[in-house]
Amino acid sequence: MASGDRIFVQAIRRYCANHGIRLDVRADGWLLAMRRGETRHFAFGYDIGLNSAIAHRLANDKSATAEVLALEGVPCIPHLLFLNPKLGRNVVGAAWREAMLVLLHDNPKGVVVKPNEGTSGRSVFKLTTEVELDHAVGEVFSMNAGLVISPYVAIESEVRVVLLDDEPLVVYSKQRGSDWRHNLDAGAKPVLMEDGEVHTACVKLAVDAARAIGIAFASIDVVRVDGAWQVLEINSGVMMEALAKLHPELVQKTYDAALDRVFGEAR
């Protein structure tokens, strides 16, 4: 096993070795080709290949996810889309910056600007002034075709639920460090949740969100704001690198369950 493998790749290597599946690792581990007999399956990035194309695209688009959840009546944090003006006036329109300023004015506690696609909390900005807005927008648009703006809310707690066919395989809270964000890459620590009222509420909301976009295997982040739980985002690629440092057996078991579905194994 290559020492530099991500946990995701290591888990798939173990599964394939234990089930007589040939594995070809390409593109430095970002493309995995699994073959058993005449059947071949692919994993790409952190996507294990269980979700439909439309569910995958919806989950990877924060604005689209929020729109669908709102249509289905699932409580969620709004994410308003703005396309990069470099795409052209006919695509973007002329009043995009004015619309951003309206959002800033309407949210005196601040707004959050981040790429419309992407994970791990990179290029995420909390801001309250026009100068900060212009800086954040410039940074995000320098590398992305679109961004989303959300009202800043004081998140009391954040929980991640990993679902497979509506079954919660992993439920943990993100214990925030000194950063205002709950991202694991920003220093938050995963803490497994025991059964109870909060666990039940978070799982129910995650299942409602998964059903709304028709996704089979996903990690869903839910947050409590003013005592009420809302969906923050849905991730089609299930990344558990930080959790694996504390609970490697649970992470392996979770990926094993998903791969059993990929290869039609009985659970």
Both tokens of residue 156?
């009391």
Query: How many other C-beta atoms are found inside a 10 Å radius of the C-beta of residue 60?
Result: 20
CATH number at residue 58: 3.30.470.20
Among the candidates 131, 151, 171, a domain finishes at 151
Domain around 19: 7-50
The DSSP symbol for 184 reads G
pTM for the model:
0.91
Helix axes 197-213, 62-71, angle to 10 degrees: 100
The whole-number pLDDT of residue 119 equals 65
Residue whose C-alpha is closest to residue 206's, from 259, 164, 248:
164
Rg (C-alpha) for the chain, rounded Å, is 19
Same domain, 67 and 184: yes
In a domain, 262, yes or no: no
Same domain, 20 and 94: no
Low-confidence ranges of the chain (pLDDT < 50): 1, 3
Same domain, 87 and 186: no
Same domain, 91 and 116: yes
Same domain, 95 and 195: no
Point out which residues pair with 112 in neighbouring strands: 126, 150
Both tokens of residue 11?
């888990």
The CA–CA distances, whole Å, from 70 to 25, 41, 79, 101, 165 equal 39, 34, 11, 23, 22
In a domain, 267, yes or no: no
Same domain, 180 and 247: yes
Among the candidates 91, 124, 151, a domain finishes at 151
State how beta strands 146-151 and 157-164 pair: unpaired
Same domain, 73 and 181: yes
Residue whose C-alpha is closest to residue 113's, from 151, 65, 148, 64:
148
In a domain, 211, yes or no: yes
Contact 3, 246 (CB under 8 A): no
Same domain, 207 and 222: yes
Q: Angle CA(78)–CA(46)–CA(13) in degrees, nearest 5?
A: 160
